[in-house]
Amino acid sequence: MVMELLISVGVVAAIAVALAVLMVIADATIGNYGEKKVTVNDDKELTVTGGLTLLTALKEQGLFIPSACGGRGSCGLCKVKVAAGGGEILATELPWLSAGERAAKVRLSCQFKVKNDLKIAVPQELLSVREYTAEVTRIVDLTRDLKEVTFALRGPATIDFKAGQYVQLEVSPYELTDEPLYRAYSVASAPSMKDRLELEIKYVPEGIATTWVHRHLAVGDIVTLNGPYGDFGLHDGDRDIIMMATGSGMAPMRSILLDMAEKGSARKVTYLFGCKERCDLFLLDEMRELEKRLPNFRFVPAISRPNAEDGWDGQTGRLTDILPQYIPNGAAIEAYLCAGSAVIKSYIAALTAIGVARERIYFDDFG
C-alpha cells in the first residue's frame, strides 16, 4: 500500500519534473532571442534582452514607461510608438488602441515582445525618469482619511521634477494583491527640496494602493518609487490664475504654490478648495502662511455641507456655484484643476460659463 503510494507520487513527480526541465530548456533555446538593439527617439541606443516584453526590457535598461497594473495588460497606460520592427498588433493589445493609434504604430509595451531590433519614440520627459529607493520618514494624518507621507530618497539621493508632476509608488504584494503594482501620486512638496518627496494619499475603501499605505506602511519602511511623470504644471506668463481642487487634489497645487513663493512670483492667484465637511479641510495654516509669502495669493476653502457645530464662518457652497463670486469674468484668466474625472468636468463647465478659454484650462485628472 505504502509502496503503491510512493510509486504514484514518484511517477507523477517524475513526469512533472521531466516536463519542467523540458520547459526550462525550451525557454533557454527557443525562447532565447539574444540581445536586441532599441533606438529611442532616433537618438539613444539601448541593448536589451530579446524575448522580454518591451516594458520589462526597457525597465531593465532604466527607461520607465508609466504603467499602473504592473504589466498585465489591464490598464492600457504603457503605450509606446514602435516605428520600426514592430510587426502585427496582438489581439491582447487591440482593446486598448484606437484606430488612430493603430495607424500611428502605437503598441501596448507590456504585451508586445522584443523579437527584432526596434525603433521607438517616447515622450522626451520619460528619458529623465528614474527608479528611486526611498525610506518612509514621516506619516501625518491630515484628515480622517488623508495621510501625508514623507519619503526620503536613498538611491539616487536626489530627484529633479517640476511642480505639478507625479511619481509612481510601487505597492508590494500583500493580502489584496499577489503581484507588485504601481499607483500615481502627485508630489506635494516643492521641487527645490530634492532629497525628499511628500505625497498626500487619500484612503479609498477597497483601494489596493491606498489600503496598503493607510494600513500597512510604517515609518522606516523602504519603498520603490519611479518618476517624475506628467505635464501638469504652471505655464509661463502673467495671466491671473484660478486654481480649483478637492481632497488630494491639494498636492500638485501646494507644490506649484511653494515653487511660486520661492521664485517670488507676483501673479494673482485665487485658489478655491472644496470639501464636504469642516473635518475634511487640511493645510489651512500652511495656506494662510503662503498668503503672506505670495503678495497676490488668496486661498478660499469652501465647505459644501456646513454643520452648525463646526463653527465655520468661511465660504460655504459648491465650488462651481461660488466661482462667479470670485471671478466674475474669466476672459483673461488661466485655470488649473485637480480632482476626479466627474468633478473636473463640472469645473470645466463652470469655467467656460464665465468665459475662460478652453485651451487655457489645464487639469490633472486623478480618476
Q: Which residues bind other proteins (CB under 8 A)?
A: 4, 7-8, 11-12, 15-16, 19, 22-23, 26-27, 30-31, 33, 87-88, 90-92, 113
Closest CB to other proteins among 12 and 332? Answer: 12
Q: How far is the CB of 119 from other proteins (least distance, A)?
A: 18
Q: How far is the CB of 3 from other proteins (least distance, A)?
A: 11
Closest CB to other proteins among 26 and 84? Answer: 26
Query: Which residues touch 239 (CB under 8 Å, ≥6 apart)?
Result: 267, 332, 333, 334, 360
Closest CB to other proteins among 8 and 316? Answer: 8
Terminal Cα distance for the chain, rounded: 61
- The number of residues making up the chain comes to 367
Q: How far is the CB of 360 from other proteins (least distance, A)?
A: 45
Closest CB to other proteins among 15 and 140? Answer: 15
The rounded distance, in Å, linking the Cα atoms of 258 and 245 is: 16
The rounded distance, in Å, linking the Cα atoms of 219 and 5 is: 51
Cell of 152: 526620503
Q: How far is the CB of 27 from other proteins (least distance, A)?
A: 8
Closest CB to other proteins among 43 and 88? Answer: 88
The rounded distance, in Å, linking the Cα atoms of 201 and 180 is: 18
Range 261-266 contact pairs with CB under 8 angstroms and sequence separation of 24 or more: 261/290, 261/293, 261/294, 262/190, 262/192, 265/294, 266/295, 266/296
Closest CB to other proteins among 117 and 131? Answer: 117
Q: How far is the CB of 7 from other proteins (least distance, A)?
A: 5
Among 347, 260, 255, which Cα is nearest to 297's? 260
Among 91, 197, 214, which Cα is nearest to 142's? 214
Q: How far is the CB of 26 from other proteins (least distance, A)?
A: 6
Cell of 259: 515653487
SS3 of residue 37 by DSSP: strand
The rounded distance, in Å, linking the Cα atoms of 122 and 144 is: 40
Closest CB to other proteins among 33 and 312? Answer: 33
Q: How far is the CB of 96 from other proteins (least distance, A)?
A: 15
